[in-house]
């Protein structure tokens, strides 16, 4: 019986780091790991091997790691890009969100933490969304996307958001966790998760940040709105 293995590419300039990650993941039966030097035509290597997940260092000297991540996502939309950063700050996390990478992980993370992120990404989740829990990042996302609101990317809302979905989306972009939203609106956390999934689907959005740009454009999230006066009915 042939068991499917998730193919993972580790793309980083530090051979020792690449080998360490490859060794940590290679011990797992579910993974096939490919090492890639980012100076060695990584886009061609990706096209040849077609990994399902790319672990990409953000601190590349040969080229900008985030720019490379953006190119990978555009050329290979089915590949899940996870950015590996020495010490991600709010500014870098904001830039990672804009690349459409699915996650940003500290290089100092444990193998277990990295493995959990890979597993979540492979299931179609976007751990990067949790970066929006930082109010600083949430505000930068909203401000930046407000400036882009007049741009036309050709995407339309498939179905209008319900009042409840709009309430939830406003709170997500304001940095609240699912648990906090559930407490505030007095409904279960699982129900919040279901609503968030529905919001992304209706807006044809790749992630929460992309949903924010579309929602702001259509007036679902006017900046400066006083959410305290909004009814949660």
| Interval 2-61: pLDDT, tens | 567 889 999 998 899 999 988 888 777 788 899 999 888 899 999 888 999 999 988 766
Grade residue 148 by pLDDT with cuts at 50, 70 and 90: low
Contact 111, 151 (CB under 8 A): no
Q: Which range scores top for mean pLDDT: 70-74, 199-203, 229-233?
A: 70-74
Pick from 78-92, 93-107, 186-200, 212-226: least confident: 212-226
Q: Which residue has the higher pLDDT, 100 or 69?
A: 69
Burial 48-61 (b: 16+ CB within 10 A, else e): eeebbbbbbbbebe
| pTM beyond cutoff 0.85 | no
**Mean pLDDT, the chain, whole residue set:** 78
CA 43 to CA 36: how far, in whole Å?
A: 10
Count the neighbouring beta carbons within 10 Å of the beta carbon of residue 22: 18
Q: What is the DSSP string of 60-119?
A: -SSS-HHHHHHHHHHH-TTSEEEEEESS--HHHHHHHHHHT-SEEEETT--HHHHHHHHH
For residue 218, what pLDDT is reported? 66
For residue 231, pLDDT beyond 70: no
CA 192 to CA 188: how far, in whole Å?
A: 7
Contact 101, 128 (CB under 8 A): yes
| Interval 74-125: pLDDT, tens | 888 888 999 998 887 777 777 787 777 888 898 888 888 999 999 998 888 8
Q: Which residue has the higher pLDDT, 212 or 118?
A: 118
| DSSP code, position 155 | -
Residue indicated by tokens 């807006």: 203
For residue 135, pLDDT beyond 70: no
| DSSP code, position 147 | H
Q: Report all structural domains of the chain as residue ranges with CATH numbers, in order of start.
A: 6-132 (3.40.50.2300), 136-229 (1.10.10.10)
Count the neighbouring beta carbons within 10 Å of the beta carbon of residue 24: 17
Q: Which residue has the higher pLDDT, 26 or 193?
A: 193
């Amino acid at each position: 019986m042939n068991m499917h293995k998730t193919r993972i590419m580790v793309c980083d300039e530090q051979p020792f780091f690449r080998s360490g990650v490859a060794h940590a993941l290679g011990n797992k039966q579910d993974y096939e790991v490919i090492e890639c030097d980012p100076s060695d035509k990584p886009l061609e290597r990706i096209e040849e091997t077609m990994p399902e997940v790319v672990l990409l260092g953000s601190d590349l000297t040969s080229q900008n790691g985030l720019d490379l991540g953006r190119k990978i996502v555009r050329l290979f939309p089915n590949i899940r890009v996870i950015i590996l950063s020495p010490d991600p700050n709010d500014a870098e996390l904001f830039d990672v969100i804009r690349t459409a990478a699915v996650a940003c992980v500290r290089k100092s993370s444990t193998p277990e933490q990295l493995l959990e992120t890979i597993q979540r990404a492979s299931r179609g989740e976007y751990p990067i969304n949790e970066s929006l829990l930082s109010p600083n990042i949430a505000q930068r996302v909203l401000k930046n996307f407000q400036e882009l609101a007049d741009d036309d990317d050709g995407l339309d809302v498939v179905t209008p958001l319900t009042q409840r979905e709009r309430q939830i989306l406003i709170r997500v972009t304001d940095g609240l966790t699912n648990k906090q939203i559930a407490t505030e609106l007095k409904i279960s956390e699982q129900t919040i998760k279901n609503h968030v999934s529905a919001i992304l689907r209706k807006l044809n959005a790749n992630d929460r940040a992309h949903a924010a740009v579309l929602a702001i454009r259509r007036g679902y999230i006017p900046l400066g709105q006083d959410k305290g006066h909004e009814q949660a009915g």
